[in-house]
Homo-oligomer: A and B are copies of this chain.
Amino acid sequence: MSAIRVPVVEKIMSANDRMAQENRNLLDDHHVFSINIMASPGAGKTSFILQTIKHLTNEMKIGVIEGDTAPVTIDADKVIKAGMPAVQINTGGDCHLEAAMLSDGLKQMPLEGLDVLIVENVGNLICPAAWALGTHINLLVASVPEGDDKPYKYPNIYRGLNVLIINKTDLTPYVEYDLDYFRKGVEMLNPGLITFPLSCRTGEGVDAWVDWLRTQVKQYRQG
């Protein structure tokens, strides 16, 4: 049985990877720097996107593709209200975005004139880690009230990251959270991972992230 099943799985995975490469080529053709944002439900992905837009609204055009498991446009509506283009992808109950879904979303997104494309993945710390989308970086929004043991419990998603955000630092005084223990777990899985602790509610720490993103976009354009 396994001799039959394994090649099928490989075929599906490489089809996703091929589609991810096509997405990347399309984004590069339009000089659009792209970010795949993953997180647990309620860690603050949308608030993080809105803070990023707020800080860069006069400098950059930022498009957002919203992945949701249900046909609700709560997040996309917030992005449009903030003055940026948004496209919603409804996964129909599926627990992650795949490259083909992003490809469909990209067809509806005006890439001309866009500086940055943000993809808000489905809220899930497990499944999105296994599916490349073709974006330039993978970013995770962790949050303080989720607890300091998450890298130990969900290691796969931490291994594939380029940037880590620790959101809701304003709640630190009210919860039990050992930042050193959290960081030790991250360091084991992804040594030297670039990390920005911040609060989307108070705005504290957001500048450092935005400065880093600004530099990344500049370097990307210079090729």
Contact = CB atoms under 8 A, between A and B. Distances in A.
Contacts of A127: 95, 126-127
Contact of A41 (B40, B74, B94): B40
Contacts of A143: 42, 145
Q: Is the interface of A mostly helix, strand, loop or mixed?
A: loop
A154 interface: yes
Contact of A72 (B93, B152, B176): B152
Interface in A166-202: 168, 170-171, 174-176, 201
Contact of A175 (B40, B95, B150, B171): B171
A69 interface: yes
Given A41-B154, A69-B154, A93-B156, A145 B171 contact: yes
A82 to B, nearest CB: 17
B145 A68 contact: no
Contacts of A156: 69-70, 93
A90 B78 CA distance: 38
A122 B40 CA distance: 12
Interface string A85-113: 00000000111000000000000000000
A36 to B, nearest CB: 18
B124 A125 contact: yes
A146 interface: yes
A11 interface: no
Given A40-B40, A42-B146, A93-B156, A126 B171 contact: no
Contacts of A176: 201
Interface in A62-80: 68-70, 72, 74
A147 interface: yes
Interface of A: 40-42, 68-70, 72, 74, 93-95, 122-127, 143, 145-147, 149-150, 152-156, 168, 170-171, 174-176, 201
